[in-house]
A = this chain, B = another copy of it.
Amino acid sequence: MTEPAAVKAALQTQAVETPSWAYGNSGTRFKVFAQPGVPRTPQEKLDDAAKVHEFTGVAPTVALHIPWDRADDYGALAEHARKRGLRLGAINSNTFQDDDYRLGSICHPDAAVRRKAVGHLLECVDIMDATGSKDLKLWFADGTNYPGQDDIRARQDRLAEALAEVYARLGHGQRMLLEYKLFEPAFYTTDVPDWGTAYAHCLRLGEKAQVVVDTGHHAPGTNIEFIVATLLREGRLGGFDFNSRFYADDDLMVGAADPFQLFRIMYEVVRGGGFGPDVAFMLDQCHNIEPKIPAIIRSVMNVQEATAKALLVDAEALASAQRSGDVLGANAVLMDAYNTDVRPLLGEVRADLGLDPDPVAAYHRSGWAETIAAERVGGQQAGWGA
């Protein structure tokens, strides 16, 4: 088994990016339940994110979503983050909430709508320049609801054209992370429905275009860790949007629905050399009914635990069993790591970082929840609409 010291060292360098929008309200089409203390501004979201980082030690960056986090002065926003020990992470575009986008954005049949959408994407790159963000994360709600509604192939052509224009705008050290999703909000076709489509577009765009794997965006039964292994082999895994699901894109806390799957994914990340700066580990979740900050802390911890187990896999014993065709033996090596209770180890990792071994308890003791519930009164709570 890997040396515990090496595992601990690796875990101390781990970085999980939290999404600004997870600190705001979210819900289903049936209802958005408001919660006390929810941020009203991007700044307040960063304040909450700082708490997550304070208690976990491994959440130093925060992804922004434009226009939900639109600011007059992104430099000032970055400075707000910096003062709290944070950096601004990926810039996430939004081309699905204007009335113009009813039939799509960069794949829309009308060139004027496509123009507008591309303009927004280019603006996002401007924002990256201002915030120092490295990654432009693109998810498109584009698609159709009814057979015949639009031309599948023509939409691909429009998609390729728009992506090329945005790609050309990327500066040095900037990347385009292209996300795929099987369905929702489009219910017949989605223009980037699977990793293969995202991959094919990235290939044509160039090295800066990478695929993002959102763990909730697949058809039932899809082997996500296989996709992870394949994208790493092809050099095209840009990052993750972590969450978990029992059914569709449920956006539950990562690791909540299938912790074994998360472990298998992290094992392939480690195996494939993806545990490093080139693969972005981001959360993308909706805390519809549970308090948001402790849910995000728990999610970060779940990623840590899965990572710890993945790092603990005895690579040599595994390879040996695999080579000899020992099905049960190889499986047992993997399961031995999975069945290990890594919470004590992570407690040590945190103690070494000067943190409380139990981040959730520490957060609850901090009184932050009560503070924001008391102070954030009035105004408009942040949500997907703003």
Using a CB–CB cutoff of 8 Å, the interface residues on chain A facing chain B are 26-31, 33-34, 96-97, 99, 101-103, 109-110, 141, 145-154, 156-157, 182-185, 187-190, 193-197, 199-200, 203, 218-223, 225-227, 229-230, 232-234, 245-248, 250, 252-253, 256-260, 264, 268, 271-272, 288-291, 294-295, 298, 305, 318-319, 321-325, 327-328, 330-335, 338-341, 343, 360, 384
Contacts and interface: CB of A to CB of B under 8 A. Distances in A.
Given A187-B245, A197-B230, 4 more contacts: A153-B232, A182-B221, A194-B222, A256-B331
Given A148-B334, A151-B319, A153-B233, A290 B328 contact: yes
B156 A230 contact: yes
Nearest to A160: B233
B289 A384 contact: no
**How many copies of the chain does the oligomer comprise?**
4
Contact of A219 (B149, B150, B220): B220
A345 to B, nearest CB: 12
Contact of A248 (B184, B193, B232, B260): B184
A295 B110 contact: no
B252 A193 contact: no
Contacts of A259: 260, 338
Contacts of A222: 182, 194, 219
Given A188-B223, A194-B194, A335 B148 contact: yes
Contact of A156 (B146, B220, B229): B229
Contacts of A291: 327-328
A289 B145 CA distance: 8
Contacts of A338: 259
